[in-house]
Amino acid sequence: MTGNVLVAYGTTNGSTAQIAEAVAAVLRKEGFTSEALPAGSVTRVTPYDAVVVGGGLYAGRWHKDARRFVRRHRRELAERPLWLFSSGPLDASASERDIPPVPGVKRAMTRLDARGHVTFGGCLEEGAKGFIARKIVSSGKGGDFRNFPEIEAWAARVAGELAEARATG
């Protein structure tokens, strides 16, 4: 493994993109070539040795771009190390306990033999796109619940697993 890692993401308002960028930055700091790209813009997975896919959670489902990415590239994803993440709870619950993947993500994990999944807190703030998102923000239930030290620690664990795989060849 040479260490070229794709971090693909599905996001509506940009907060999942910021998580993906943070994951890619940690992977680069740990010596891997890594880029974060919108899942809908990725046409090929073959140039990458490993993949991380993240999606925002909306009404109990992963972002459509993340779902489509996993479906479209399922053969290639099944052949390389894969990790998944979700972002979404608009409260501190993701920092307080392990939140299992939603059913669609759980199925993808099983089918593709993903190495792991984590759910991070979400972010929904003023100016969010979508009627429901704006209603949530205006009701006072929005906010930024992402925990970047936690995100970076998870990314460092992914990097550690990749480094171990690279060392054992």
pLDDT of residue 158: 97
Per the listing, tokens 């996993």 go with 70
Look up the pTM and report it.
0.93
**Taking the CB of residue 162, how many other CB atoms lie within 10 A of it?**
23
Residues of the chain with pLDDT under 70: 1-2, 127-128, 132-133, 137, 169
CA atoms within 13 A on the CB side of 118: 22
The pLDDT of residue 85 = 98
What digits encode the pLDDT tens for the residues 93-129? 999 999 999 999 999 999 999 999 999 998 887 766 7
pLDDT of 133: 67
Q: What's the confidence (pLDDT) of residue 91?
A: 85
Predicted local confidence at residue 149, as pLDDT: 97
Domains of the chain, each with CATH number or no CATH: 4-168 (3.40.50.360)
Q: What is the pLDDT of residue 168?
A: 81
Mind listing the pLDDT tens digit for each residue in 20-30? 999 999 999 99
Helices (H) and strands (E) in the chain, counts: 7, 8
Q: Find, among 86, 148, 88, 150, the residue nearest to 121 by Cα.
A: 88
